[in-house]
Amino acid sequence: MFVIDTNVLVYAANSACPEHAVCRGLLDHARKGSLPWYLTWSILYEFLRVTTHPRVLGKPWAIQEAWRFVAAVLASPNVAALTETDRHSAVAAQILNEVPAVRGNLLHDAHTAILMREHGIRRIYTRDADFHRFSFLEVIDPLGPRTTKTL
């Protein structure tokens, strides 16, 4: 079980970036594989924000195009979106005590980390080094030296 983060989705979707082939391969492998894998709605909305933003992409996508990509990802038989449970508040308080430097933009990553702990998921594929702040996560950069690690 693992989570795929926003940046991997963006690189997988954007054929113009140098990270595209590796990230697209990772996403395709996850979609065709038998292991369960996860996203969060925050990750999906962030993907929509990034791919449609003219200051982020030279050629931003129309929202309909970005949503088609999201819909195709969500159509994978072994993917699910993590959501808050009744334990969310307690898990959030626990993590915010463990990682007291969480603030500002790191709260988005903290939300993902909280959901992962809530659901017993440790592995995340991301290029975002901020996830290393959450010592309970296994952070895998798909373009890093551990690329041979299987999903």
Q: How many CA atoms lie within 13 A of 131 on its CB side?
A: 24
Q: Which of 18, 31, 27 is nearest to 47 (CA)?
A: 27
pLDDT one-digit tens code per residue, 68-103: 999 999 999 999 999 999 999 999 999 999 998 999
Q: Is the dihedral of CA 116, 121, 122, 125 positive or negative?
A: negative
2-138 has which fold? Answer: Rossmann fold (3.40.50)
Coil vs helix vs strand at 2: strand
Rounded Cα distance, 83 and 130, in Å:
21
149's tokens: 């690690």
> Is the pLDDT at 148 greater than 50, yes or no?
no
CA distance between the termini of the chain: 8
Domain ranges of the chain: 2-138
Looking at every residue in the chain, the average pLDDT score rounds to 94
pLDDT one-digit tens code per residue, 122-137: 999 999 999 999 999 9
pLDDT of residue 146: 60
User: Model-level pTM?
Assistant: 0.93
pLDDT of residue 20: 95
Rounded Cα distance, 51 and 58, in Å:
10
Q: Which of 47, 45, 79 is nearest to 60 (CA)?
A: 47
Rounded Cα distance, 70 and 57, in Å:
17
10 Å Cβ neighbour count for 15? 9
State what percent of residues in the chain have pLDDT above 70: 96
Rounded Cα distance, 139 and 129, in Å:
8
136's tokens: 């309970």
